[in-house]
Amino acid sequence: VPIRDAVAEDWQRIWPFWHRIVAAGQTYVWDRDTAEARARQLWMSNESVYVVEEDGAIVASAYTRPNYGSGPSSHVANAAFMVDPDHAGKGYGRRLAEHALDRAKEHYRAMVFNAVVETNPAVRLWLSLGFTVIGTILRAFRHPVHGPVGLYVMYRDL
Amino acid sequence: VPIRDAVAEDWQRIWPFWHRIVAAGQTYVWDRDTAEARARQLWMSNESVYVVEEDGAIVASAYTRPNYGSGPSSHVANAAFMVDPDHAGKGYGRRLAEHALDRAKEHYRAMVFNAVVETNPAVRLWLSLGFTVIGTILRAFRHPVHGPVGLYVMYRDL
**How far is A54 from chain B, CA to nearest CA, in Å?**
31
Measured CA to CA in angstroms, residue A68 lies from A5, A79, B26, B29 at distances of 23, 12, 14, 6
pLDDT at A47: 98
| B129 burial type by CB count under 10 A (0-12 exposed, 13-18 middle, 19+ buried) | middle
| Backbone dihedral angles phi then psi of residue A117, each to the nearest 5 degrees | -60, 125
Residues of A in contact with B114 (CB under 8 A): 114
Q: Note whether B71 contacts A115, CB cutoff 8 Å.
A: no
- The verdict on B115 touching A (C-beta cutoff 8 Å) is yes
pLDDT digits (tens, 9 = 90+) for B90-115: 999 999 999 999 999 999 999 999 99
Averaged pLDDT in 10-residue chunks for chain A of 158 residues: 96 98 98 98 98 96 98 98 97 97 98 98 98 98 98 98
Whole-angstrom Cα distance, residue B113 to residue B153?
Answer: 6
pLDDT at A1: 81
Q: Note whether B28 contacts A71, CB cutoff 8 Å.
A: yes
In one-letter notation, the amino acid at residue A132 is T
Measured between CA atoms, the residue of chain B closest to residue A112 is B137
Whole-angstrom Cα distance, residue A3 to residue A5?
Answer: 7
pTM of the model: 0.97
Q: Which residues are paired to A43 by β-bridges?
A: none
Residue B123 has pLDDT above 90, yes or no: yes
Mapping DSSP onto H, E and C, the string for B37-105 reads: HHHHHHHHCCCEEEEEEECCEEEEEEEEEECCCCCCCCCEEEEEEEECHHHCCCCHHHHHHHHHHHHHC
Whole-angstrom Cα distance, residue B138 to residue B140?
Answer: 5
Q: Note whether A137 contacts B115, CB cutoff 8 Å.
A: no
pLDDT at A75: 98
Q: Can you state the angle between helices A11-24 and A36-44, rounded to 10 degrees?
A: 110
Residue B31 has pLDDT above 90, yes or no: yes
pLDDT at B4: 98
Whole-angstrom Cα distance, residue B61 to residue B14?
Answer: 7
pLDDT band at B139 (very low <50, low <70, confident <90, very high): very high
The three-state secondary structure class of A28 is coil
Residues of A in contact with B142 (CB under 8 A): 72-73, 75
The three-state secondary structure class of B143 is strand
- The verdict on B146 touching A (C-beta cutoff 8 Å) is no
- The verdict on B29 touching A (C-beta cutoff 8 Å) is yes
Q: Which residues are paired to A78 by β-bridges?
A: A65, A112
Which of B136, B141, B153 minimises the CB distance to A73?
B141
Q: Note whether B31 contacts A112, CB cutoff 8 Å.
A: no
pLDDT at B1: 81
Which of A31, A73, A115 minimises the CB distance to B140?
A73
pLDDT digits (tens, 9 = 90+) for B68-93: 999 999 999 999 999 999 999 999 99
CB-based contacts of B37: which residues, under 8 Å, 6+ apart? Answer: none
Q: How many Cβ atoms from other residues are within 10 Å of residue A45's Cβ? A: 10
Vertex B14 angle, CA B10 and B18, to 5°: 155
pLDDT band at B41 (very low <50, low <70, confident <90, very high): very high
Q: What percent of chain B has pLDDT over 70?
A: 100
- The verdict on B147 touching A (C-beta cutoff 8 Å) is no
- The verdict on A147 touching B (C-beta cutoff 8 Å) is no
